[in-house]
Structure 1
Amino acid sequence: MRRAVWLLLGGWLLLAGTVRAEGLVEITDVVKRAFKATPGGHLELEMDRGNVEISTTAESAVYVEVIRTLQTERREEAERLLEGHQLTFEQEGESIYIKSQLSEDGSWRFWKRKDIRIRVEIRIQVPRRFNVTFTTGAGNVDLRDLEGTVEGETGAGNVTLRNLRGTVQISTGAGNVEVTELEGHLEAETGAGNITVKGLRGSADAETGAGNITAEFVAPPEKDSRFESGAGNVTVFVPARAGFVLDASTGIGSISSDFEVRIDRDWISAEARGTVNGGGPTLRLEAGLGNVSLRRL
């Protein structure tokens, strides 16, 4: 059975800022919660809009801070509309559930007015060894210093991941994905945006519909890996002594390699196949419209 939060660190804090030049009053609301949670637990976050920042704490706890900033003509209206922004905090065993959503009742029409502006930001701290699942309609996500499984989806927004260990599955409808220092397996997909991976130890499967992909293995690939762009360049760096099998192609573009592999060029397309340093996992590089480059690190 899910239970309520065990400690309330702060309630609603309503602050009236200065009146904007356009006649709008700014109201800030801060909600804080804390949960007991041991390493190995699970955080599930669902929100319709706003930015998310997830980091770690040395304590056996999950700390949550929700900051909502609303600009409107009247303070009274702002307070009433904030009450219509649904915030849910629940705990079931070692799983923490957080939901942030604009009301679906009749007050929804007020949120769509041009003279009302709202910003939502959620900051969360979890134990370093923890599993995270998030879903956002629109907003940026920043997650760092975590050991566990990460699964996330955003309709529109950038995703930044730093210093992670485990399996990571990320998708965004439109936005960039940036991963720095990952030990494990990465699955990343964006409909339109760049994918950048630095300091990878493990394997990856990354795809963008329109955008560039740049990936850096700092250790030989441990499993089959794929990097594919529908429209954009694909550049992958691999340690000089890494063993792998290359399978690369481009529909319209060129292929270049620092390793000894065979490259077959057509009028507008190219393919490259070859076994490098005795072989190993397959490294698949593909660009529908763009150049493919394999570089020695």
Structure 2
Amino acid sequence: MNNYQLFSKRALMLLGTLAFLSSFVYAEDLKVLKEKTFQMKDYQNFFVDASGADVKVVSWDKQEVYVKISGNDKAASKLKYDVFQDGDVVRVIIKRKSSFWNWFGSNIRIKVDAFVPAKYNAHVETSGGDIYVKGITGGFRFDTSGGDITLVKLNGKVNAETSGGDIQLTEHYGNMLLSTSGGDIVCKGVVGDVKAETSGGDIQIQQKDGRLFAETSGGDIVIEYSGVNKGIEAETSGGDISAKLPADFKANVHLETTGGSIDSNFSNSKSTKVKRSELVAEFNGGGPVLRLETSGGDVTVDQK
């Protein structure tokens, strides 16, 4: 082994060691800044307004709300934080001490972990962090300007909005209003009406039942539907649309593209208008609308 190879090997080992140590330090240098437990009842409310924090909320089998705020030394000195009960609401508030202080490049690290009863309402707002919520039945609203929203096994109406991240729902029951300016939207195994809008990402919907409206300005839309048709509408300005539907799916169909092709592979279909860029038809004798439109891509419909 020559000197150059030896140097390169040692440099790689050093970089790997530093990466490991930095990740360890990141995990270990967060300390508990505040923690509280409250005796609460089903379907009461949990509210978080947290500047820059990651927020995680999960259910447990107690009639209690437990909240822990963790952060590094800079978070402790630069932020003011509180956890308190206000009637039927547990509130978590994290704010900057000075309105003139610049958040970016400050190496602030702050997170909120909470356990709530399995039947509970949650409203979480964070200006720069991720939101993760799992296993709760109630009503939900989630807003973050710079992070991702991940929701797992929730039951109830949800309104989720992020300016700069992705939204993902898994096994959700209840109507969904989902919006992101710069990310993707993914729904897996959901039941309920879905309205999904993104300006800069893709939309992927795996839906068992409910109406669907999906719109994106710059991405693809992929739909897999397995229930009775209650209406499906999807639009994209810059991508493809594909839908996979049950063989007994009944619909009045309008497929249209200005910059691509249309491919419909449905066996029980009666077409009334067929062009390269447009298809008007009935699936299984007609039913609620199936409207798929794109300005810059292909439209494909397949039968399961």
The interval holding the TM-score normalised by the smaller chain is 0.7 to 0.9
Q: Which runs of 5+ in 1 are unaligned?
A: 1-18, 21-25, 71-77
1:51 and 2:54 matched: yes
Letter in 2 for 1:229: T
Letter in 1 for 2:114: I
Q: What corresponds to 1:88 in structure 2?
A: 82
Secondary structure of the residue aligned to 1:82 is helix
Residues of 2 paired with 1:261 and 1:124: CA distance? Answer: 54
Residues of 1 paired with 2:112 and 2:255: CA distance? Answer: 41
Residues of 2 paired with 1:57 and 1:135: CA distance? Answer: 22
* Larger strand fraction of residues: 1
User: How does 1:144-183 map onto structure 2 within 5 Å?
Assistant: 144-183=134-173
| Alignment TM-score, normalising by the size of structure 2 | 0.74
1:102 and 2:105 matched: no
Residues of 2 paired with 1:258 and 1:164: CA distance? Answer: 35
Aligned sequence identity (%): 24
1:133 and 2:123 matched: yes
User: How does 1:1-297 map onto structure 2 within 5 Å?
Assistant: 27-30=29-32, 31-70=34-73, 78=74, 82-104=76-98, 108=101, 116-218=106-208, 221-222=209-210, 224-239=211-226, 240=246, 241-259=248-266, 260=269, 262=271, 265=275, 270-277=277-284, 279-297=286-304
CA contact (8 A) 2:138 2:156 kept: yes
Letter in 2 for 1:66: I
CA contact (8 A) 1:34 1:63 kept: yes
CA contact (8 A) 2:206 2:223 kept: yes
CA contact (8 A) 1:51 1:121 kept: yes
Q: CA deviation at 1:59?
A: 0.5
Residues of 2 paired with 1:235 and 1:183: CA distance? Answer: 20
Question: Aligned pairs, how many?
Answer: 256
CA contact (8 A) 2:190 2:206 kept: yes
CA contact (8 A) 1:230 1:288 kept: no
Secondary structure of the residue aligned to 1:157 is coil
Q: CA deviation at 1:282?
A: 3.8
CA contact (8 A) 1:178 1:195 kept: yes
Q: Which runs of 5+ in 2 are unaligned?
A: 1-20, 23-27, 227-245
Secondary structure of the residue aligned to 1:164 is coil
Residues of 1 paired with 2:51 and 2:275: CA distance? Answer: 47
Letter in 2 for 1:161: L
- State the structure with more CA Rg: 2
